[in-house]
Structures are given as C-alpha cells and as structure tokens.
Amino acid sequence: MQVAHDVREVLARATCEGTTVRLPPGMDLAPHGVGARTAKVLTAAGALFSPRRRAFVFADLFPFGQAQPLIDDIIANRCTAPRPFRGEAPCPPAVAEKMCDELALHPDWTVLEPSAGHGNLAAEAADRGSTVDCIELEHHRAVDIRAAGFARHVITADFLTLPQQPRYDAVIMYPPFRRDLAAAHIVHAHGFLRAGGQLGALVSIGLENGVRKASVALRQLLHRHGGSKYRLEGEVMSPSGRPLNTELWIVDGPQE
C-alpha cells in the first residue's frame, strides 16, 4: 500500500512506546480524513487498535519488539511495511480487553493462560492486577514470556499432558484453530477452574459442532455449565491478513 505525504507526516509525529503507536492528540478520525487513512495504513502494516490504551498495538511483536523501526520503514519507503507475523495469528488487543471485561477480572484473582503463545491475554490480565500463570509448548516463546516479567510462573510443556489442578479463578485462552484440538484444549482447561470460576476463549465459529470425541465432550461441558457467546466481526486476522470467523466464549466453571 502506498502511503500519502500527509499520512507520513502524521506517522512522524506519532508516539511509539514498545509495541504501541499512539497518534498525535486531537487527530480527526472522520471517514476519509488523514487520521482514518493513517489508521488504515497501520492496520495494513499489522497493528491492531486497543480501545483501552487508545493506541495501535503490534501484538505479533510482543513482548520485546519495537514499533518504531516499522514506522520509520513506512515513512522512508512510502509504503506499508510487511506484516511481521511469526507464523500465527496473535490475539488482538481489543479482543483481549473484551475477554477480560466480560470475565470482570479482579486484582486478587489468579488466572491461567494455557498454550499462551506470546502471552497477550496473560499480559492484559496482569495489567489489570491479576496474578497470572502461563503454559507454553514452544521454548522460545516461554522464554519471552518469562523475560517480560508479568507472569508468576511459566511452564514449558504441552498443556494437554498436564494434570488438571482446579485452583484458578479464571482461564483465558486462544486455543489452536484446528477444531478437535481446540475442543480438547477447552475441555481440559475447564478442569483448572475453582468452584465459581470462569473460562474465556477465542474460538472459530461452530467449534462445538464437530463430530469427534473432543467436540462431543465440549458440547456436554457447555450443556452442563452454560455461558455466553459474542460474535467477533473481522476483529481477528490470519497470518496472511484474512479475516477469521471467530467468537468469544465465556463458560461458567463448576459450582460449589
């Protein structure tokens, strides 16, 4: 995407802090205005808007990436920088915020993010004062989360092989997109909730309609415990930039 001169001027005045980009104060975001066109350029470059932070976040650069070199590249080359995904679609900041809002996280809660990836969900929960543990299969990502310092414990392991420990107030998760694997992750994760806890999950639409054993177990779990679903329209992107059909699930935990 070619970047116009006035958009490059706005980007030159933007404030970059780590993975975030904040547009200059008072920026007009009216349709077709320079603010809206700047937002479109940032989105094309891989940034996603965070309503709570009022800034654009390169979630796929978390935790140690820097937005400034990408912005400098856009300005210098007059076109959008390549999307810097590392082979997976990170959870957008706005979705992480909505999940934590719907779960109404408390500062004194303990929260688990299984198969944490870059730990975007865990970072949002920690930012709200919750005590967070992470489980991540890939060693290099677990090292990144550990170094970022927001998690109490980081376990490098295949989540599905770990014994259930019902001690968490909330589980927040973006399970693998393959249906049977996602269903198995949610069913297993539910066993980590204490009585009265809740599970939040970002999933593909129709996940519960599979025919394999894990999907059957998931339907039984949803029938027993109940919860709510929220359709997400174009908020989650694939590594190639294609919108994914997703929902946010809030599943109730076991009762006393």
pLDDT in tens, the chain (256 residues): 789 999 999 999 999 998 899 999 888 777 888 999 999 899 888 788 888 888 998 876 666 678 898 899 889 888 885 554 444 567 888 899 999 999 999 899 999 999 998 888 999 999 999 999 999 998 888 988 898 899 999 999 999 999 999 999 999 999 987 778 899 999 999 999 999 999 999 998 888 888 889 999 999 999 999 889 998 877 776 655 677 788 999 999 998 7
Cα→Cα distances 254→33, 99, 110, 214, 215, Å: 50, 19, 16, 19, 19
Residue 78 has phi, psi (to 5 degrees) of: 60, 30
For residue 238, the model assigns a pLDDT of 65
84 belongs to a structural domain:
no
Contact assessment for residue 38 and residue 7, using Cβ atoms and an 8 Å cutoff: yes
Alpha-carbon distance 48 to 60, whole Å? Answer: 10
For residue 87, the model assigns a pLDDT of 42
Alpha-carbon distance 140 to 105, whole Å? Answer: 28
99 belongs to a structural domain:
yes
Tell me the Ramachandran region of residue 52: left when phi exceeds 0, alpha when psi lies from -120 to 50, beta otherwise.
Answer: alpha
Task: Give the chain's domain count.
Answer: 2
242 belongs to a structural domain:
yes
pLDDT digits (tens, 9 = 90+) for 204-213: 888 888 888 9
Residues 99, 157: one domain?
Answer: yes
Residues 34, 68: one domain?
Answer: yes
86 belongs to a structural domain:
no
Last residue of a domain, one of 26, 45, 77: 77
Range of the domain at 199: 93-252
For the whole prediction, is pTM greater than 0.75? no
Residues 15, 71: one domain?
Answer: yes
Cα→Cα distances 165→145, 187, 189, 190, Å: 22, 13, 9, 10
85 belongs to a structural domain:
no
pLDDT digits (tens, 9 = 90+) for 5-63: 999 999 999 999 988 999 998 887 778 889 999 998 998 887 888 888 889 988 766 66
Contact assessment for residue 21 and residue 71, using Cβ atoms and an 8 Å cutoff: yes
Residues 73, 97: one domain?
Answer: no
Residues 210, 117: one domain?
Answer: yes
Last residue of a domain, one of 36, 51, 77: 77
Last residue of a domain, one of 77, 105, 129: 77
Residues 187, 245: one domain?
Answer: yes
Q: What is the CATH number of the domain that holds 191?
A: 3.40.50.150
Residue 190 has phi, psi (to 5 degrees) of: -60, -30
Residues 49, 132: one domain?
Answer: no
